[in-house]
Amino acid sequence: LESPHEFHSWAHTDWITLNVGGRRFTTTRSTLVKEPESMLAHMFRDKDVWGNKQDEQGAYLIDRSPDYFEPILNYLRHGQLIINDGINLLGVLEEARFFGIERLAEQLEGVIKNSQPPEDHSPIS
Amino acid sequence: LESPHEFHSWAHTDWITLNVGGRRFTTTRSTLVKEPESMLAHMFRDKDVWGNKQDEQGAYLIDRSPDYFEPILNYLRHGQLIINDGINLLGVLEEARFFGIERLAEQLEGVIKNSQPPEDHSPIS
Amino acid sequence: LESPHEFHSWAHTDWITLNVGGRRFTTTRSTLVKEPESMLAHMFRDKDVWGNKQDEQGAYLIDRSPDYFEPILNYLRHGQLIINDGINLLGVLEEARFFGIERLAEQLEGVIKNSQPPEDHSPIS
Amino acid sequence: LESPHEFHSWAHTDWITLNVGGRRFTTTRSTLVKEPESMLAHMFRDKDVWGNKQDEQGAYLIDRSPDYFEPILNYLRHGQLIINDGINLLGVLEEARFFGIERLAEQLEGVIKNSQPPEDHSPIS
Amino acid sequence: LESPHEFHSWAHTDWITLNVGGRRFTTTRSTLVKEPESMLAHMFRDKDVWGNKQDEQGAYLIDRSPDYFEPILNYLRHGQLIINDGINLLGVLEEARFFGIERLAEQLEGVIKNSQPPEDHSPIS
């Protein structure tokens, strides 16, 4: 986990803003590349990678759900899976798989298996 | 479902911002035309279609509810119906019908039938 | 209810942005005047009515709650009363009365009567 | 309560935007001074009072929680205490006391006493 | 606790905007340094500290979750731990520890111990 001392390194890191489905998320390059095999690590490992498109304010465009991206980004920040009540876990799982964060996807599958009673009728496709 | 490889094609696709009832959603033309018979496919199949109006920031104007549009857009992104707790399914159904996404409307009708007990008093007109 | 064909008329209608208590809502003049006896119809029936004030971005100012205005505006869009869980129905009723949408206020009074058990202690004045 | 006729006076009143903890609320001077003994009445009774600071967009700065300010402002608008499910009543009470709206604070204390069972463990300090 | 009289000192204090994960929070320097041993006090005790980075609008960048930062900031404003239903307490605890607000972290640990039944399956890592 990050400590206050690590925090001061924020002055030296690259800050990156993402436009995920229309909502802006601000984070650092080191957070985005935390999971080395993920799509985000591939996108942001090197500066000015071929294939990333930015909006008119310089935020990198990602065509995904902002609501379900939020816990994904927090997981990259501190390594914990923390989700508010009412957020559909299947939505977060969909994003974890899309972004190729395998450890998180497996953890979510376990949580979903434990939390969903067999008589559940919540919308899944 | 989209794979990381498909993702890199984001650099070559058109990004489109919608202003749905005052909230901005950013997505791609390929997402919006995913359901070929839908109104969104009709609106965005060809560039510069006659009849689409944009706000002063270039977002296409749609006079509908942003809250209920969100799961519709996610469905177009990955083909899954995923809705958070507390969101009124009848609101999403109303949008699915308005936008002419028939498969989604049918799926929602099934979910609503299963989830609403006969003694339910939630507001419907 | 509106059909896809009616939708294409959006190109020919006036788009109007409201600033309700600090949040912006974008809609059309035809939505706002749907209920002919309502205050919104009186405000927006004619262009450039005396008495409407706009903010610096051209949105018409309304000193009311944005949270409770949202289902009111959706009602004007499609004629359905659809409210998410957790939204206080008394808040929506207060707005329906303020804006003079009588049919909606009556419908809400019926829903509230049915949904509130006698032992309920939720905050009402 | 305000009537549609009173509404038309919006053209003649001062519109004021507050920046409460980073979120903007737009309202009128007459709403803010509704409770004559409150801090908001003291702040906004006279134009250009000594001691109010504005952000770069002209919104008056208030270092408090926007979530809990929202029902306070609605109370000033129409005199009703209306709070959505899930909003912590202690947060609204804290703001009612801070802003010196005594009648509202007393009403909230009554609601809290009635709504909180003795075995409740929700976070209070 | 702050009184209305203390409020008037807002005219003389420094206002600071934070960009926490993409959402803006406006507060005062005196709020941010309230807990003398915390990271926020270290960051903002002196003006123009080495190591704080600002976005293009002058907001200080912090790579953390805005949702869970909100109750932390409110705690610094008035000394109360107040959290809405549905907000994951583990998320707030993670931030309290990250920002080094020890008294708040201990209080949260107590609340979590009391509120989580042993059979709980909510997502924790």
Enter the ipTM. 0.87
Distance, first Cα to last Cα, chain D: 37
- Determine contact, residues C28/C69, Cβ cutoff 8 Å: no
Amino acid at position C46, single letter: D
Residues with pLDDT less than 50, chain E: 1-6, 125
pLDDT-based confidence at C13, cuts 50/70/90? confident
User: What count of Cα atoms within 13 Å lies in the side-chain half-sphere of residue D90?
Assistant: 17
What is the SS3 assignment for B10?
helix
Q: Which candidate, C74, C57, C46, places its Cα nearest to that of C22?
A: C57
- Mean pLDDT, chain B, whole residue set: 87
Q: Domains of chain E, with CATH numbers? A: 8-114 (3.30.710.10)
Note the helical H segments in chain E.
4-7, 29-32, 39-44, 66-78, 89-98, 102-115
- Mean pLDDT, chain E, whole residue set: 87
Report d(CA C4, CA B42) in Å as an integer.
9
Q: Is C8 on the interface with B (CB under 8 A)?
A: yes
Q: Give DSSP secondary structure letters for chain C.
A: ---HHHHGGGGGSPEEEEEETTEEEEEEHHHHTSSTTSHHHHHHSSTT-TT--B-TTSPEEE-S-HHHHHHHHHHHHHS-----TTS-HHHHHHHHHHTT-HHHHHHHHHHHHHH--TT------
Q: Which candidate, A31, A84, D64, A32, places its Cα nearest to that of E98?
A: A31
Q: Residue A118: enclosing H or E segment and its boundaries?
A: none
> pLDDT digit of tens for each residue in chain D (125 aa)?
444 444 555 666 799 999 999 999 999 999 999 999 999 999 999 876 667 899 999 999 999 999 999 999 999 999 999 999 999 999 999 999 999 999 999 999 999 999 866 555 555 54
Residue for token pair 């949702």:
E67
pLDDT tens digits for range A42-76: 999 987 666 789 999 999 999 999 999 999 999 99
Contacts of C91 in chain D (CB under 8 A): 74, 82, 84
Minimum-distance CB partner of A21 among B4, B25, B86: B25
pLDDT tens digits for range E8-41: 556 667 999 999 999 999 999 999 999 999 999 9
Rounded to the nearest angstrom, the minimum Cα separation between E10 and chain D is 7
Mean pLDDT, rounded, for C96-125: 82
Neighbours of chain C (3+ CB pairs under 8 A): B, D
- Determine contact, residues D81/D111, Cβ cutoff 8 Å: yes
The verdict on a CB contact (< 8 Å) between E73 and D21 is yes
Minimum-distance CB partner of B83 among A21, A52, A123: A123
Task: Name the region of A121 (left: φ>0; alpha: ψ -120 to 50; beta: rest).
Answer: alpha
Contacts of C122 in chain D (CB under 8 A): 83, 85, 115
The verdict on a CB contact (< 8 Å) between C10 and B51 is yes
pLDDT-based confidence at A5, cuts 50/70/90? very low
Which pLDDT score is estimated for C9? 57
pLDDT-based confidence at B51, cuts 50/70/90? confident
Burial class (CB in 10 A: 0-12, 13-18, 19+), A89: buried
Which pLDDT score is estimated for B125? 41
